[in-house]
Structure 1
């Protein structure tokens, strides 16, 4: 069976070992332990896949609890329809959040532009009177 060390996964996914331990603390990964006192973590292909899915979920802006819920669904293929419906609900919520953030950013950019325009107008007016 193919296994990975924490350093190998950190290097492969360009993240820190601390991040991997953080995901482990949140139940997303569950490596076995080897060596004196169980000091060495040993990750399986399953852990590697879960890490990959976790990082993909983070890029989508999902919370760790949302990611764990989705990843855990695929551990037991009981009802694929329910799994897909849950995933669609999470994605719809994330889409709404991102669209609201985009609207907020557009509004903030418009305000910045208005202030810039006002500053340019005042500078031009000051140059004319000097």
Structure 2
């Protein structure tokens, strides 16, 4: 599978309107939106079942990466859809040619990495405690 991005994903709890069942282990095809209007089909391999309320990092491949290129950037937020929102997360790294510049969003200074390989370490996850000035 081609890797277009690495993303942090958290499924919404069932009690909060999320899925009734976990996303099973194996290949999952779904849709995400970065802007709440346009959906983008993707494929990802889940190495274990993901229960509602749980989170993980995963590599995704977009059906049409050229349509995602203008929207994806470091820490770009997205919503996972399955008829309704079932999860949310943010981009940890992306590997798509001509993706929008996201260097201004990098937490630890200026970006020296050329597109298409902008990335952050997992330690910079949005779940990590924030330092002042971020």
The higher relative CO (CA closer than 8 Å, separation ≥ 6) is in 2
Structure with greater helix percent: 1
Larger radius of gyration: 1
Structure with greater strand percent: 2
TM norm structure 2? 0.22
TM norm structure 1? 0.23
